[in-house]
Amino acid sequence: APKHLALCAWGLGRTLVNDEEAWSSLGAAIRTKAPEFALADLAMVSWGLAAVDRVSPPEIVALKQSARSKLVGQSLDEVSSHN
């Protein structure tokens, strides 16, 4: 569930775990479920990624698209060329 993925990302960030395999697997799940995340979940995932300086573009783009859709009601493709 999105809440569980968000908690995993937050927990890994909180404890400064920067294990490539863990974040890669979590990132794949996040990209798949991002549209289902609540804003609080998106914030938790973003915080977790930032805590370990993980700036993987696919995860960031998925989070950005989901947040934009929830806040403005438009997809990122409609308002930005920076995917």
* Predicted pLDDT at 56: 76
Q: Could you tell me the pLDDT band of residue 57, with boundaries at 50, 70 and 90?
A: confident
Q: Is pLDDT above 90 for 16?
A: yes
18 to 51, 55, 62, 77: CA distances (angstroms) = 9, 12, 20, 31
The DSSP secondary-structure symbol of 74 reads S
Exposed/middle/buried for residue 26 (C-beta within 10 Å: 0-12, 13-18, 19+) = buried
In terms of pTM, does the model score above 0.85? no
- The CB density around residue 69, as the number of other CB atoms within 10 Å, is 15
Distance CA 1, CA 12 (A): 17
Q: Is pLDDT above 80 for 68?
A: yes
